[in-house]
Amino acid sequence: MKNKNNRLICIDEYVRINGIDQFLFHLGTSFDNPVMLFLHGGPGSAESLFTGVFQDRWEEIYTVVHWDQRGAGKTLNKNPDKLPTIELMLQDLFEVIQYLKKKYNKKKLVIFGHSWGSVLGTVFIRKHPEEVEYYIGAGQVISMVENEQVGYNKVKEFIEQAGDKKSLKKLESIGEYPGSKIVFDKEFLRKCSIVRKLQGKYKLGLEIGIGIWITAFKSPLFKFSDIIAFMKILKANSKVHSFLGDFNLRTESKEYKVPVYYILGGRDWQAPYVIAEDYFKDIKAPNKELFIIPNAGHFLMMDQPGLVFDVLSAINFKQHEEKNMEALKDLPGSLKQATVI
């Protein structure tokens, strides 16, 4: 694979994780930088093919590692019969972190979870806070049922304001949505597809069109087998979907043992930012901060890459500042006065 930016760290590899070979893609400029593990969305929608669109500047301050999860991308192609459950994915994630800690000589990693990755990441940091320096949730999911209810109401509001009778008829044709419980069966997926297309039309959600595929084709990692993997993700992730349908952070403790940062798109109504914003107010964590990116949707990194980088820079600086302040506490008084941070 070409190292187009001449990065010091540019590795694509398969690593034996939890009994199967899983794909990792590393990019970075310094071994001294913190290691960020990027947890992609879906379940099953590997984002390693899109790094060139939004990530170049991230690599100045982090070593960024993309992991094609079990049931996604190149890992799915390599292991078509080794399909995920939430228990397997949490163990996979633990082992990926152990591998990266050893490889880069780090005590902890930064976790960046996007969409479904924010679900997996949040569950993991509750279970293994000792492994994580801090957590960043982008397009953070709080409750799947609430997501769909709020997203449906918002697109209906836009359609009615526009006097778009044709779209309103399409939306109302699906009947009650999503119901009191989400089951990822054919009927729900049919209804969800209609809602997503209308959200895309009104710039309220992610549109999966030709532009997305052109971006993927341009990736140095791209192979036609990646398209085949994408076509298989619904079936491959059926057991994870059953977990996701019931997911609701509001029913759990809001106590976190690691710093928590949310980066939300100000026009994201696929995982509506207003839900995460409301939930975030009650979080208790060692540090916490919420950022809303204007004119950004569910894939906020691609919509506003410059602003997202500015936020990551601020988070990274804040975390280093905290570390420096902790280190100062251990210095003799005479040295504290002479130390400049």
SS3 137: strand
**Distance between CA atoms of residues 248 and 181, nearest Å:** 11
Closest CA to 59 of 8, 109, 103, 22: 8
272 preceded by a cis bond (ω within 30 of 0): no
CA dihedral 246, 247, 248, 249 (to 10 degrees): 160
pLDDT at residue 330, as a whole number: 54
Q: Which CATH number does 9-141+224-332 carry?
A: 3.40.50.1820
Kindly give, in sequence order, each residue whose CB lies less than 8 Å from that of residue 248, ignoring residues fewer than 6 positions away: 142, 143, 144, 145, 146
Tokens, residue 322: 């905290």
**Over the chain, what is the mean pLDDT?**
90
- Ranges under pLDDT 70 in the chain: 1-2, 206-212, 322-341
31 contacts 106 by C-beta, under 8 angstroms: no
Closest CA to 164 of 173, 155, 152, 174: 155
> At 159, phi and psi to the nearest 5?
-65, -45
Tens-place pLDDT, residues 178-203: 988 899 999 999 999 999 999 989 88
**How many Å separate Cα 281 from the centre of its chain?**
20
113 contacts 271 by C-beta, under 8 angstroms: no
Tens-place pLDDT, residues 155-171: 999 999 999 999 999 99
pLDDT at residue 155, as a whole number: 95
38 contacts 52 by C-beta, under 8 angstroms: no
| Comma-separated ranges of CATH 3.40.50.1820 domains in the chain | 9-141+224-332
CA dihedral 325, 328, 329, 335 (to 10 degrees): -150
CA angle 138-89-319, nearest 5°? Answer: 40
pTM exceeds 0.95 for this model: no
pLDDT at residue 331, as a whole number: 46
pLDDT at residue 221, as a whole number: 86
Beta 63-68 vs 132-138: how paired, if at all? unpaired
Kindly give, in sequence order, each residue whose CB lies less than 8 Å from that of residue 306, ignoring residues fewer than 6 positions away: none
For residue 255, list its beta bridge partners. Answer: 284
Q: H or E element: which one contains 21? A: strand 20-28
Q: Maximum distance among all alpha carbons in the chain?
A: 74
220 preceded by a cis bond (ω within 30 of 0): no
